[in-house]
Amino acid sequence: MSYLFTSESVSEGHPDKVADQISDALIDNFLAFDKSSKVACETLVTTGQVVLAGEVKSKTYLDVQKIARDVINKIGYTKGEYMFDGNSCGVLSAIHEQSPDINQGVDRAKPEEQGAGDQGMMFGYATDETENYMPLALELSHRLLKELAALRRENNDITYLRPDAKSQVTIEYSDDNVPQRIDAIVISTQHDDFDTSEEVMLAKIKKDIVEILIPRVVANLPAHIQKLFTNDITYHINPTGIFVIGGPHGDTGLTGRKIIVDTYGGKGAHGGGAFSGKDPSKVDRSGAYATRHIAKNLVAAGLCKEVLVQVSYAIGVAKPTSINVETYGTAKVDLTDGEISKKVEEIFDMRPYFIEKRLKLRTPIYSETAAYGHMGRTPEIKTVTFTNPMGETISEEVETFTWEKLDYVDKVKQAFKF
């Protein structure tokens, strides 16, 4: 019997994502001027106020207020009527030095013996149902909001959009887990005041979403995904009605509250650790990226159609306490999942130092991860520039989303004798 599966996404203007983007901008600035920085920064945003807290061990000094304001303005909170804007909001910093008790468990005389920055388990997932090996419902949810943000910035076809928004997509699957159609799409978008009745306003917003946004999204999808957009989709557009008050004025935002949006939309599993605001010595982040890298390369190599990879660590210990692979019965080799796990452990060195080196994680690449998902993105080589309060400017060529590269496909095929 067929079944329904749903995933959601939130826009860059969602209060929790505002917090994530500020935290990751701090990470990037610290790493730009001191590659050895150890950072765990949390952000809270609410009406007219930003609070920064956390622990840092770094040789550099930053103007954290300016960094936070620049992020807020870039997102689009630039008007006083939003009750939260980058130029006028208060920014309070309660960032302090990292505990030496924690740091002694991470730093080692030999870099390759670097211990994990915390205990815990991380998961990576991949599926062949999309070209970027991501779950379809989440991929579509992200695309809807990225295109909605593009429309907001263009300010041509739709002129009333504000930064805060959420999306949700429900897919109908067949018994053999193949997407059949889109059952429902939910979009709630913040908007300017209308000079009309609520009924007329909602009709206008729904018409624009269905007739402008949806076709723009569909046009950039592969043909087999486009076919899922039928006339039978149920649309819920701003189902609560007026959505003028939004962003941090409508709902307090905190770093790390959208971990399912950040990963796989509820598919696979999640270890519970957030990513944003953490330098790569924190395995919550680097371990999750590394397991996604493994999962994607396993599926791309043809080992299986779907896979979940788990890794776990003890704080201060380099070698993982476990590595586990679950192929959901889709493996195309005559090996048990336990035997596959052993081979994966031989191919991928999951000690924190080697993850950082393999994925080039000690570079300022994290601001881009903080909205529209950390997984399923396209790697790029680009130049980034940072300036500190002393007037020093650093430009650096970096490679983003390295954990999405298919650079281990041949190694996987060789190890499993394809």
Burial of 396 (C-beta count, 10 Å sphere; 0-12/13-18/19+): middle
Residue 166 marked as a ligand binder: yes
Long-range contacts of 394-400 (CB under 8 A, 24+ apart): 394/32, 394/33, 396/32, 396/363, 396/364, 398/360, 398/363, 398/364, 398/365, 399/360, 399/363, 399/365, 400/365, 400/368
Residue 374 marked as a ligand binder: no
Report the greatest alpha carbon distance in the chain.
68
Residue 236 marked as a ligand binder: no
Residue 165 marked as a ligand binder: yes
The whole-angstrom separation of Cα 26 and Cα 20 is 10
The whole-angstrom separation of Cα 347 and Cα 341 is 10
Residue 16 marked as a ligand binder: yes
Residue 139 marked as a ligand binder: no
Residue 55 marked as a ligand binder: yes
The whole-angstrom separation of Cα 137 and Cα 381 is 28
Contact 400, 382 (CB under 8 A): yes
Q: How many residues does the chain have?
A: 418
Residue 98 marked as a ligand binder: yes
Residue 14 marked as a ligand binder: yes
Residue 12 marked as a ligand binder: no
Instruction: Please give the structure tokens belonging to residue 146.
Output: 């990225």
The whole-angstrom separation of Cα 278 and Cα 286 is 9
Task: Name the one residue in this structure whose structure tokens are 């210990």.
Answer: 317
Residue 181 marked as a ligand binder: no
Sheet of 179-191, strand order? 3-10, 161-173, 179-191, 234-237
The whole-angstrom separation of Cα 92 and Cα 366 is 22
Instruction: Please give the structure tokens belonging to residue 383.
Output: 């130049």
Residue 137 marked as a ligand binder: no
Kindly state the DSSP code that residue 278 receives in the 8-state scheme.
B
The whole-angstrom separation of Cα 148 and Cα 161 is 8
> Which residues sit in the known binding site?
14, 16, 42, 55, 98, 164-166, 251, 257-258, 274, 278, 282
> Which residues sit in the known binding site for L-methionine?
55, 98, 251, 282
> Which residues sit in the known binding site for K(+)?
42
> Which residues sit in the known binding site for ATP?
14, 164-166, 251, 257-258, 274, 278
> Which residues sit in the known binding site for Mg(2+)?
16
